[in-house]
Structures are given as C-alpha cells and as structure tokens.
C-alpha cells in the first residue's frame, strides 16, 4: 500500500548527493549568453534617457535592450499593468529599466555599471496612510462580507474595543533565486526552462513579450529550489528577459539573479494595516466585529486583489462571528509590487482576529484559551461571514485535545508563578487556530490535467501541471499512481512539468497542487484500469486471444473501476473467483490487442462557485483545521525572545504521506514564526531595501526553533471531498506561527499593569523592548 506511508521525497537522494538539477546546474551550451537587469536608481519619477554607448563598447557586451525591444510593453496575472521594462514612468526602486547581454557572466556587473540612466525624481508614496490620504487605490473589494446588524449590536454590547492591527511584509527567501534559460529553436520557437510555479503563465507572458503565438513557446519546469508563492507570477517576466535576448541574438540566454538582486527587485508578502471595532460580553463572547482590511500592494496590481479577498475570507479565523462587517481595500505605493506568499492573505486576516481575542482576554483578565473556546465554530454556529457553512468541523475536539496534550492549564499556572518573581525574564503562552479554506477562489483555476503512460514492462511515466518546489507534490502523485496499479512507487516516474504535455495549467499554489493534479492523475489511471479490467474479465471468462480475434474494450468511461478487481503486488486479481494475472502479462495482451495503455484526464473541483459581488456561493472545497500552543520567554533587559515549546495538532484527513505532511507542518510553522518575530524589512529614506541578504535579513535559524516541538495529527476518516480523503497542508500550518506572537503579547500583559498592549508584527527584540519600556499611561 503506497497511500498513507512515509515514502521518501522523490528527490531526497539526489538532493543529499548534490545531483538534483536546478536551472543554473544546467550545463552551458555553445554560444550561450548571460543576461543582467539594470534597475532604477529612484523609487518614483520619469526616465529621461538611457545611454548604453559605453556599455556596448565593452568587449563582452553583446547587446543592451530596452522597453522598445518588447512586442507587448506590459504584463500581469490579473491586469496587464506592469511594464516589462520602464517605458517612461518609474514606480519603484530597482524597477527593471534595461537588460544587458554578455558573453561571460563575470562581466555582467561591470557592463551594467556602464549604462548611464538619467531620471527626474518625484515624491513617492510609501505607506498605507499616505496612499489613503492621496486616494491611491489599486483595488477595492467588490462587496463587504456582512452578517447581522453590526452597528446596532456594537452600540448595545457590554464591552467594546477598537484599534489598528499592523503586520509587516516578508521576504520569500527561497534558496534558488529567480532564474531561467531560453533556447531558440527552429522556426522561431522558444523553449524556456524556468524556476516557476506557473509554467502556463510563463509560456503566455513569453509569447506576448515576443509577439508570437503561444504554440511557439514551451515552458519546462523540472523543480524549483523553493517558491513559497514568490514564483507564482514574478518568475514570468524573468523568463521573458531571457527569451527576448535569445530571440534577438539567436543564442541560448541564461538569467540568474543573485540573492541581493532578487530581494531588491521582487515583491514581498503584503503589509497590512487593519482597523477594527469589536463588541463582546463579560465572558468574552464576540457579539459583533467590524473590520477594514488595508494592504500595501506596491506599484502594480500583480495578485493583490485576490490576496486581499483571501484575507477577508480568513478574518473570522476559527471563530463564529454572529454579526460582522468585513471590508477590504488595497493601496498603491511606490514599493516593489507585492505578490503571493504562503497563505496568500490568509495569515494577515487570521492574525487580526487572534490579536483581537488576545486583547479581549487581557481586557477581561481571563484566560485567552477560554475566550477562544467559547467563540469557536461549534454546534449550529457554523455559518461563515461569506455564507459558507463549515462542514466536518473538528475545531472543538482539536481545542480540547491540544489543551490536554500540551498541559496548557498546568503550564499557565507555572508561568504565572514564574512571572511573579520578577527575575528579568517574563514568559507567555498562547493557543491559536487555523481554519484554512482550500481551493482557488477564482473558480476557473480549480482544474488540472494529467497524462499517465503505462509502459510494456509495467512501469509508468506521469506528467501533470504540478510544479515541485520541495513540498513533495510529485511524491504524493507518485504514491497515488503506484497505489492505483498496485506497483511499487519506484515503478512510477514523475516527468518534468511541460506545457507541451499539460496545457493551460493552474499555478501550483493555494495548497491545491496535490489535490488537483493528484485527482487528475487518478482519473487517468482509472481510465486505463477500466480497459485492463475488461480485458482481464474476458481472459478469466475464457476469451480466446489469437491473431484473427481482437478484443475491443469499448469506449472509455470515467466511472470508478470495478472494486472486485484488485491491483496489488503487480498482479490483477478477481476477488470473487480468485483468478489472477500478472500485470505485465495483461499489459502485453492489451498491447497486442491494440488497447491504449496511456490516458489523459481532466479534473475540475466539483461544487465550487462564489459570487464576490453578491457574496453568495461556495468559496472553498473544504477547510484544513489545526491549532498550536506556543510558550515564549522574553529577556526584559534586551527584548530577546526564545520559543520554549510548541505543540501542534492538525486535521489532515487521511494523510497521503505523513512524513511529508509533518515536514510541511513544521516548516510552515517556523516560517510563520519568523514572519511574526524576526523578519523585518528595512528601507532607507530613498526606499532602497537595506535588508537584502542573509547577513541583514533575519530568518529563523536552528537556534530559533522551539526547544520542545511536538506535532501530531488527529484522525479524521470523514473527509470525502478530496482524493483518498486527504487534506492540503502547504499553507494552513503557516497561520499557526501567530501563536508565537500572541504568546509574546501574553507575556507582555504581565508587565502592562492593565494598560493596552501596543504590539506590531514582527515583534522583533527592538519592538518587544520598546513595549516593555513604554511609560505607563503613554
């Protein structure tokens, strides 16, 4: 049985041996050139001129390219509003102005410095407050999410709080920077190898940039060295830069950004500044919540509209809000265009409600876990602010189980006793939850296709639109296919993702890669199995196979295969009669009878459809649920924070691969913890990014991980909305990193003397120390 086992990642051995091939590991070919990007020296203004004469005189320089060299001047995932290269208006620091092509990579930086760019600088907008004051709106949500009479209930509520929740951006910090190689082929074709989560969009953007039909471009993605959403959209123009040079010079062209260049050029997680008002009763039960979510989208739209909407979808978190109004607006600033990042707006929405609940508990002097418990979705209180009813709800069970397994109540009393001694250290503990909606909220993206080829020796080659960025999607699909045919996983080879085999693919994002592509692969397997079952049945019933008699299985159908025929241990067995045949023998018979042994299948998630204007319909296929308890300790003299212990309990349905799911859970949590505690983006006055390298940008290292780290999964056999009853895991645990931030907030409450805690995110040591040092009454 392949399903539910800890099969190792399909690239684990080659990763460890250093044999995995990433973009820049591809050997250079004869005539290959290297491409560099020259960025703007100002954040906003006019481009007056580009003087490339000195650069072109360099012996290694083969060309300098500007916006005029592109057929289409702009690109975009939702709206074509972003220039490939600056045309006249400059909108953010290091915006791509021109490209240089060199015969040698080590000449790129020298040649780039020889390009003279003349600009006229104007005043930029760099904060949400500034953008709002100037009416710089990128996108406003079509309709608010409204339930009940919010204003009336707020006025009548026994207690009210209002405030502003602020959370910063985050750098993706994937190990492999943005990279692509373009190979010019005969008849004007281009083959692009890209580090991209979205091969079909890369194909489209390259074709539009060059002014050629889509069928002239093939995009291939073997794997990425990490993505986290940063390569969902923003890898496409990088590929277009390489393709343009390859097309103009008729030579292969490679572009590989350095880590510093990548961090300065590309967008981040969206900063949010959310205004809220909440009414609640003396027990801490939320009666009404009014929230305005405000994001910094940067200079161009990118995916900001969808990210804002997902933040709105996740403002409720795991909690029932009987009366609620949620609005959203994304502002234009002169920062790099912000983009997708693990959670896709969900963390910024979810963290807001968790912060509110922590404040409510602090105001009422109650245990925050009890305040959360009475607000959880439970009983008949299952309707979300956008009208979808929460099905298969395990939140109350998860809450009780994790309180017990983490010894939360006992440890809370220990923390209270510890903090009373005033030893220069203060501890806090907090529980937060995730209820993450799984599906793209744009219905058309919830589709996938797969090609499964069964070879004559019983092995299989599988092609899907999923892209492997380290998350194990290929391994999970490998297990699904191996299980379908009853063969060992090593008999299944996952092929590189390519737009010539899998067309119009959706990005590997929204935690849906395994769901969509795994389901498509299973459909393709079932079509082949149905043919083989008909053949086996005929064989067991005595059908005579000879050169004059050919067996015809009839037309394909998508019905589930006859369960009485078991594919196991490379055999096909009729469980009723006991008759069996080796799979390889049955394959040979099928081939000799001209029965196809390959199949293509298309899958679309059923039952989805959400109208964001009327706020009706089903936005998500299901919800992945979980909770975390985090304990922290703060140094009152330095503000240093240490995570003492973390306990996580997740509902992942029936896991396809518990080992991979455990890795995704721990990795997502640590990344989320970094976002809320140490990953601070710092810009100078001109908006140069100062934290653009591993030496200046603080992601969690091994010393920052919890001293005790417990991860467990709850049994949930009732999920029937996804392939083999599994649930997605890529993004949901990221939201649990919030528990570290709320634990910091809880620790600070012991030193607040009853006054409001003003904690922003990330809660760096400096932020913590400033809050600890804030004079009372200020």
- The H or E element containing residue 325 is strand 324-332
Report the largest interatomic distance among the alpha carbons of the chain, rounded to a whole angstrom: 96
Residues 614, 599: Cα–Cα separation, whole Å? 40
Residue 401 backbone dihedrals phi, psi, to 5 degrees? -65, -40
Residues 64, 62: Cα–Cα separation, whole Å? 7
Please indicate whether residue 585 is annotated as part of the active site: no
CA distances from 234 to 205, 325, 507, 729 (A): 11, 33, 12, 23
Burial class (CB in 10 A: 0-12, 13-18, 19+), 600: middle
Give the chain's radius of gyration (CA, Å). Answer: 28
CA 75 to chain CA centroid, Å, is: 21
Select which of 95, 191, 468, 731 is catalytic. Answer: 731
Q: What is the 3-state secondary structure (H, E, C) of 91-140?
A: CCCCCEEEEEEECCHHHHHHHHHCCEEEEEECCCCCCHHHHHHCCCEEEE
**Sign of the C-alpha dihedral computed for residues 696, 700, 703 and 704 taken in this order:** positive
Which residues touch 102 (CB under 8 Å, ≥6 apart)?
A: 33, 34, 36, 58, 60, 61, 62, 108, 111
Tokens of 572: 């096909």
Task: Tell me the three state secondary structure of residue 432.
Answer: strand
Residue 161 backbone dihedrals phi, psi, to 5 degrees? -135, 150
Residues 186, 194: Cα–Cα separation, whole Å? 20
Identify the DSSP state of 19.
-
Residues 199, 289: Cα–Cα separation, whole Å? 41
| β-sheet bridge partners, residue 383 | 389
Number of H helices, E strands in the chain: 19, 32
C-beta atoms surrounding 357 within 10 Å: 27
CA distances from 219 to 200, 214, 499 (A): 7, 10, 6
Tokens 């639109």 belong to residue: 465
C-beta atoms surrounding 419 within 10 Å: 17
Residues 370, 381: Cα–Cα separation, whole Å? 17
Which residues touch 701 (CB under 8 Å, ≥6 apart)?
A: none
Nearest to 609 by CA among 618, 600, 620: 618
Tokens of 424: 């220069």
Which residues touch 542 (CB under 8 Å, ≥6 apart)?
A: none
CA 300 to chain CA centroid, Å, is: 20
Task: Tell me the three state secondary structure of residue 280.
Answer: strand
Residues 360, 382: Cα–Cα separation, whole Å? 22
> Which residues does the annotation mark as catalytic?
731
């Amino acid at each position: 049985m392949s399903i539910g086992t800890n099969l190792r990642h399909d690239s684990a051995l080659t990763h460890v041996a250093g044999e995995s091939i990433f973009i820049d590991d591809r050997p250079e070919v004869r005539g290959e050139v290297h491409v560099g990007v020259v960025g703007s020296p100002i954040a906003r203004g006019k481009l007056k001129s580009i003087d490339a004469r000195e650069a072109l005189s360099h012996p290694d320089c083969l060309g300098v390219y500007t916006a005029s060299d592109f057929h289409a001047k702009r690109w975009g995932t939702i709206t074509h509003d972003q220039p490939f290269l600056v045309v006249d208006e400059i909108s953010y620091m290091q915006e791509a102005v021109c490209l240089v092509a060199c015969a040698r990579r080590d000449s790129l930086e020298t040649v780039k410095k020889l390009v003279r760019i003349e600009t006229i600088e104007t005043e930029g907008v760099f904060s949400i407050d500034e953008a709002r004051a100037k009416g710089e709106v990128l996108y406003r949500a079509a309709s608010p999410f409204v339930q009940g009479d919010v204003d009336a209930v707020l006025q009548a509520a026994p207690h009210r709080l209002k405030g502003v929740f602020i959370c910063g951006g985050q750098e993706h910090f994937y190990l492999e920077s943005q990279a692509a190689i373009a190979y010019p082929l005969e008849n004007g074709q281009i083959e692009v190898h890209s580090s991209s989560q979205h091969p079909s969009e890369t194909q489209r953007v390259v074709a539009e940039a060059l002014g050629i039909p889509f069928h002239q471009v093939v995009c291939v993605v073997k794997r990425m060295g990490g993505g986290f959403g940063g390569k969902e959209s923003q890898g496409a123009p990088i590929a277009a830069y390489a393709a343009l040079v390859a097309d103009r010079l008729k030579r292969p062209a490679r572009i590989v950004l350095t880590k510093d260049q990548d961090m300065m050029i590309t967008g981040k997680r969206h900063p949010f500044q959310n205004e809220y008002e909440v009414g609640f009763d003396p027990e801490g039960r939320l009666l009404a919540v009014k929230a305005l979510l405000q994001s910094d989208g940067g200079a161009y739209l990118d995916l900001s509209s969808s990210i804002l909407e997902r933040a709105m979808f996740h403002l409720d978190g795991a909690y029932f809000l009987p009366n609620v109004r949620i609005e959203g607006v994304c502002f234009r600033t002169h920062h790099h265009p912000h983009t997708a990042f693990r959670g896709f707006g969900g963390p910024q929405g979810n963290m807001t409600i968790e912060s509110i609940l922590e404040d409510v508990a602090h105001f009422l002097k109650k245990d925050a876990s009890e305040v959360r418990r009475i607000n959880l979705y439970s009983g008949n209180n299952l309707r979300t602010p956008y009208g979808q009813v929460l099905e298969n709800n395990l939140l109350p069970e998860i809450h009780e189980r994790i309180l017990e397994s983490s010894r939360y109540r006992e440890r809370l009393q220990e923390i209270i006793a510890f903090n009373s001694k005033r030893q220069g250290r203060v501890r806090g503990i907090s529980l937060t939850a995730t209820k993450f909606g799984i599906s793209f909220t744009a219905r058309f993206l919830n589709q996938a296709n797969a090609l499964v080829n069964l070879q004559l020796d019983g092995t299989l080659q599988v092609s899907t639109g999923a892209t492997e960025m380290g998350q194990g999607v290929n391994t999970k699909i490998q297990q699904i296919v191996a299980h379908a045919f009853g063969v060992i996983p090593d008999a299944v080879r996952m092929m590189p993702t390519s737009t010539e085999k899998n067309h119009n693919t959706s990005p590997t994002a929204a935690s849906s890669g395994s769901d969509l592509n795994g389901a498509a692969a299973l459909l393709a397997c079932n079509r082949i199995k149905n043919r083989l079952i008909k053949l086996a049945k005929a064989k067991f019933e005595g059908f005579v196979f000879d050169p004059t008699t050919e067996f015809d299985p009839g037309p394909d159908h998508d019905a589930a295969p006859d369960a009485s025929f078991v594919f196991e241990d490379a055999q096909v067995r009729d469980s009723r009669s006991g008759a069996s045949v080796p799979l390889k023998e049955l394959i040979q018979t099928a081939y000799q009878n001209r029965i196809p042994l390959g199949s293509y299948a298309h899958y679309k998630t059923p039952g989805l459809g959400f109208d964001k204007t009327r706020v009706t319909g089903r936005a998500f296929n299901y919800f992945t649920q979980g909770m975390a308890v985090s304990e922290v300790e703060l140094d009152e003299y330095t503000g240093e924070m240490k995570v003492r212990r973390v306990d996580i309990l997740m509902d992942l349905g029936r896991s396809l691969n518990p080992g991979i799911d455990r890795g995704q859970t721990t990795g997502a949590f640590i990344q989320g913890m970094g976002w809320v505690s140490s990953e601070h983006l710092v810009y100078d006055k001109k908006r140069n990014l100062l934290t653009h390298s591993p030496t200046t940008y603080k992601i969690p290292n091994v010393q920052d991980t919890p001293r005790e780290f417990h991860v467990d999964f709850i049994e949930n056999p009732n999920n029937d909305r996804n392939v083999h009853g599994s649930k997605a895991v890529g993004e949901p645990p990221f939201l649990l990193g919030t528990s570290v931030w709320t634990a910091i907030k809880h620790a600070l409450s012991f030193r607040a003397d009853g006054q409001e805690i003003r904690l922003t995110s990330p809660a760096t040591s400096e932020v913590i120390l400033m809050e600890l040092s804030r004079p009372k009454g200020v």
